[in-house]
Structure 1
Amino acid sequence: MARIGVLGISDGREHVHERNSDFIRKKQNLLVESLRGAGHEVVEGGEPVASNTSATAQARRLAESGVDATVLYYAVWAFPHFTMLAADALDTPLVLVASTDPTEPGLVGMLAAGGALDQIGRQHTRTWGAPDDPEVLADIGARATAAAAASGLRGCTFGRFGGRPMGMNTAVANTDQWQRSFGIDVEEIDQYELVLRAERADTGEVRKAREWFEQYAAEVRYDGDKLTPELLERQIASYLAVRDVIAERGLDFSGIKAQPELTENFATMDITEALLNDPYDWNGPKRPHVCATEADMDGALTMKLLSDVAGTPALFADVRHYHPDRDVWDLCNSGQHATWFAARSDDPAVNLSRVRLCPEVFFFPAGGASVRHIAAPGGMTLARLTRRDGHYRMQLVLGEFLDFDDATTEELVRRSTPEWPHAFARLDVSPETFLSRFGANHIHAVPGDHRAELRAVAELLGVELEEWSR
């Protein structure tokens, strides 16, 4: 959730302000309580603003408190220049909120303030209604959550293990553009670092993790060749190696090339990537670390934004196949579907009970385990940051992950690669539109409808929005 500043704006005439102040406080207190009830942290500016000096002083205090977005609240007619002075002292996104109680002209105050901000080109959004109106709270929350996600990119470091995978241009971004547009630095790390560190990993910890998988996974399909206890332990040791680098170099999110060097000579990174993206490992709950397979930079950036607005792990997948007879997409990739997506449970044992570790397929001679499961059903937001002529765009669509009976599921997975994880999705876009306009082979998803937050993220980052619906 977000950290939200709230500043009530009043009338500058002393006798009118004295009459209105209790009314403003009552409305504002209910708004603050409602926002806190929705899970947000709220910082109040103080008494309703009734002078130019108060507008500047209170706004500066809110700015110093590090809020993600600021609500300017209008329960009554308010002098517009107070808003202008407060806005000048604030560098956060602004949400102008008007009470619709007809006994006082709150709407008039908001419109006068909003028009003044328009005249100087100060970006803001507006919403109106009762202070406990769910739609008002949702509007404020979406904007503030988006602001936290967008501003949270600045100062981040992305760790790129390896370079461009298999000639995949869409997996590589311009580091200068990332620094300029998003404030993100890119740390280049050779994959050999993982090999060296994996060889030095704590053998007791590695064994503990292997036994955890063997105890809780639906199956660990050892075959004596492509998947052995030794190969599984090598993958787990790679996870420990990446974690060490993350801590040592202060990485906020990352990507691992893997193909072809590691997948042909060491092991696949499927276990490593799944565990990084999961909200747990064998030692208990942990914070997910966004990690994209094939070192997909724009994919990892999309996943980080999705994860930050949703508060959950984010899915990474290839757009593998479309089944026209069912209007279903098979989203499938040898890399990481975090095991959390198997059941989306807080209990890793529940998720792992639906996960099978299978021997890797012929693409990957070095072997290791693929993390095979079917993503649990439910509504999803799917998105991808792509580039057209060097400019970023957010491609966004609502969808649903589907659940089929066992026989149908088995038939569908065997049409592609049954050893890999799958999400069967119905998207709110025609296949003709999607396939002719989608700008990558990878797509990403989080549970729920987070389109409002992502629209705001795109606006705040200066990114074109391309949203689809049927």
Structure 2
Amino acid sequence: MKKREKKMAKAIKIIKEISSYNRSPVIGVFAPCDPRIDEESRQRVRNIIKMAADIIAENVKLPDGSYCKVVYSDVLIDGEKQADIVARQFEEEKVNILVGVPDTWAFPQLTLISFLQQFPSDTPINLTCGNSGPKPGVVYTHACSGALSQYGKLIHIIVGNWPDTGLNPVMSENTAKQLIDWCYAAVTYMGLKGRRVVIFGHDSMGMETALAHIIPTRKIFGIEITRLDMKLVADMLNKEAYDKNELKELRAFLEKYSGGIEIRNEEDSERFNKELAMYLIVRDIIKDLNGVGGGFMSQLEWGSDRRGIPLPVADVMESLFNSTFDHNGKKPPLPFATEADVQGLLTMLFFTYLSGGAPPLFMDFRKVWEAWEIKKLAEEIGVKIKGDEIWAVKGFVDGDNSGSASFDWAGYPGEEIEKIMKRIKFPLADEFYFPGLGNSVTFVSPGGIKGIAGRLAYSSLNNIFSLVWDEAETVEL
């Protein structure tokens, strides 16, 4: 009798080519339910799922201006079987952010807990409900929050408002706003997890607030800090390891559209070219490393230490990275910190993601002018003020910039590039501070631009990052 050959399983080779190196945030919307309730109430829950998913899809953007992918399942999670079905559906769609919209009571262990066990423990999860009475999803929401916290899992809950009755309820504007805000936070976390920033040199200030806290940043945010020596950039400058035609295009763009470039002689011109070449070199390095942000130390060894060979400042390079445009047209801002200030970089990085791609503005907190000081100075120099101006009533912060200010802040959001650039000038750097010279960036932001001012910091005492922030608005004096 002929012996049958045993069939062996074979490993499958993964196709090398992939469409993207990045893991994109994907939001999945679902709802638990109680299988005992009437069909009309169950259909209402399905409609709420779609309503919530549409609101998120229409309002949450990524830093490149594209909309975040949002999917939903109208399979109601009545128990373990449905939990498995929806989990597999979301797995197929690469969902990594979860939004539940319960409208009825259900049993936490049979539904949400069984569902969540199939996702990584750090998956952002939100439960948003109406403050309902008939079949109280709000009771389920609080019950789940308590049940999960007992085993160390924290979730974000929003007890909002939508009508208690009707097949097609719509959440209130305030509820939608809270949910959208949370989604931006979740997208920021998942969008940056596993990504890296590229730092050239060390932080020149030597302050705790600027240090690269590599391990805490890795463990808490999942962000890697790639450190490169500035010698690499210096060598590539000397080797002219950049596209010379593109350098000409970049300089021509700045010469044509800016408010002026201070050039005294051929030496100044060559230094300005080197400064622009730095942008092209560092841009390509960061792109090759698939980085989402960067930082560079202009002072000390690079541009200030006369024991070596001082090189041109990095101001123009930093501004170009942080802007939403360059000589090639529109682009997403790439947060880039002056003086390799890593905590400043993380602040800008988070704000850019949280805002769906707003360009960051790094500046020095120079002086707080209190209202009484303004009035006193006005009297001393003979300047008449009305006294009811917002800056005269509340005072203002002198936010002189010493580094990476995006060009966008020379104009209003959405203003034409040509108009913005005409307000920007490139004076020579202060030779006393920067003997390597090169050109700085100067402009005055117009009044009335509203934003968030803040700063991230890390404490080794409790191993916690903290963010100090407040609403801010530019003013014209």
- CA drift of 1:275 comes to 0.6
Q: Which amino acid aligns with 1:88?
A: Q
1:357 matched residue in structure 2: 426
CA distance in 2, matches of 1:113, 1:393: 28
Whether contact under 8 Å (1:10, 1:17) holds in the other structure is no
2:133 is aligned with 1:112: no
Q: Is the 8 A contact 1:198 1:240 kept in 2?
A: no
Letter paired with 1:328: F
Q: Unaligned regions of 5+ residues in structure 2, if any?
A: 1-23, 61-67, 163-169, 305-309, 375-394
| Matching residue within 346, 364, 373 for 1:318 | 364
1:56 aligns with 2:87: no
* Structure 2: distance between partners of 1:374 and 1:338: 12
* 1:69-148 → structure 2 map (5 Å cutoff): 69-81=97-109, 82-91=111-120, 92-100=123-131, 102-127=133-158, 128-130=160-162, 131-148=170-187
In structure 2, distance between residues paired with 1:109 and 1:184: 35
- Residue 271 of structure 1 and its aligned partner are, at CA, apart by 0.6
User: Cα RMSD (Å) of the superposition?
Assistant: 2.3
2:191 aligned with 1:152: yes
1:336 aligns with 2:376: no
Which of 36, 47, 52 aligns to 2:57? It is 36
Q: Does the 8 A contact of 2:77 with 2:83 survive in 1?
A: yes
SS at match of 1:369: coil
> Which segment is superposed worse, 232-241 or 57-66?
57-66
User: 2:438 — aligned with what?
Assistant: 368
Aligned partner of 2:315 in structure 1 is 270
Question: How far off its partner does 1:58 sit?
Answer: 0.9
The code of the aligned residue for 1:357 comes to F
Q: Residues 25 and 187 of structure 2 are in contact (CA less than 8 Å); yes or no, is this contact kept in structure 1? A: yes
How do residues 389-400 of structure 1 correspond to structure 2 at under 5 angstroms?
389-390=460-461, 391-400=463-472
Secondary structure at 2:441's aligned position in 1? strand
Which structure: greater strand fraction?
Answer: 1
Contact 1:220 1:358 in 2 (8 A): yes
Residue in structure 2 matched with residue 12 of structure 1 by the alignment: 35
Give distance in 2, aligned partners of 1:102 and 1:66: 35
Task: Give the equivalent residue in structure 1 for 2:200.
Answer: 161
- Change in 2 beyond 3 A, CA 1:385/1:166: closer
- SS of equivalent residue, structure 1 residue 398: strand
Cα deviation digits, residues 369-409 of structure 1 (max 9, x gap): 1110123432221222212335333232223233324xxxx
Q: 1:388 maps to which residue?
A: 459
Contact 1:385 1:392 in 2 (8 A): no
Q: Paired residues, what number?
A: 402
Q: For the Cα contact (< 8 Å) 1:223–1:359, is it kept in 2?
A: no
Unaligned runs of 5+ in 1: 406-470
Instruction: Give aligned-pair identity as a percent.
Output: 25
The equivalent of 1:442 in structure 2 is none
Q: Is the contact made by 2:449 and 2:474 (CA closer than 8 Å) also made in structure 1?
A: yes
Q: Is the 8 A contact 1:360 1:367 kept in 2?
A: yes
The amino acid across from 2:453 in the alignment is L
What is the deviation of 1:44?
Answer: 1.0
Q: 1:60: how far off?
A: 4.1
CA separation in 1, counterparts of 2:72 and 2:150? 27
Give how far 1:150 is off.
1.8
Residue 389 to residue 109, structure 1, CA distance change in 2 (3 Å): closer
- How far the C-alpha of 1:166 sits from its partner, in A, is 4.6
Query: Which residue identity is paired with 1:85?
Result: S
* Whole-Å separation in 2 of the counterparts to 1:351 and 1:212: 13
Measure the CA separation in 1 of the matches of 2:135 and 2:472. 44
Deviation at 1:146, TM superposition (A): 0.9
Distance across 2 between alignment mates of 1:167 and 1:113? 46
> Taking structure 1 as reference, are residues 26 and 174 closer, same or farther at Cα in structure 2, changes over 3 Å only?
closer
Is the 2:455–2:469 contact (alpha carbons within 8 Å) kept by the matching residues of 1?
A: no
* Residues 290-319 of structure 1 deviation map (CA, whole Å, 9 limit, x = unaligned): 211111111111111111111212121221
**Structure with the greater alpha carbon radius of gyration:** 2
Aligned residue identity for 2:460: D
Q: Check 1:260–1:156 CA distance in 2 against 1; reply closer, same or farther (3 A cut).
A: same
2:427 is paired with a residue of what secondary structure? strand
Q: Indicate yes or no: 2:308 matched with 1:308.
A: no
From 287, 292, 296, the equivalent of 1:252 is 292
Question: Given the alignment, which residue of 189, 209, 212 partners 2:250?
Answer: 209
Using the alignment, how far apart are the partners of 1:356 and 1:330 within structure 2?
20
2:83 match: secondary structure: helix
CA drift at 1:164:
3.3
Asked whether the equivalents of residues 235 and 268 of structure 1 are also in contact (C-alpha less than 8 Å), the reply is yes
Deviation at 1:236, TM superposition (A): 0.5
> How far apart are 1:159 and its partner, in Å?
1.4
Structure 2 Cα separation of the partners of residues 26 and 155 of structure 1:
35
Q: Distance in 2 between matches of 1:50 and 1:372?
A: 61
Distance 1:400 1:179 in 2: 30
Distance (Å, rounded) in 2 between the aligned partners of 1:32 and 1:280: 32
Deviations 1:297-350 (A, max 9, x none): 111111111111112121212212222224211122321111111113353222
Distance (whole Å) between structure 2 residues aligned to residue 246 and residue 198 of structure 1: 16
Question: Which residue identity is paired with 2:410?
Answer: A
State the 1:69 CA deviation.
Answer: 2.4
Moved more, 292-301 or 131-140: 131-140
TM-score by length of 1: 0.79
After superposition, give the CA deviation of every residue in 1:14-55 in whole Å (9 maximum; x if it has no partner).
xx2535322212232222222223245321123212232112
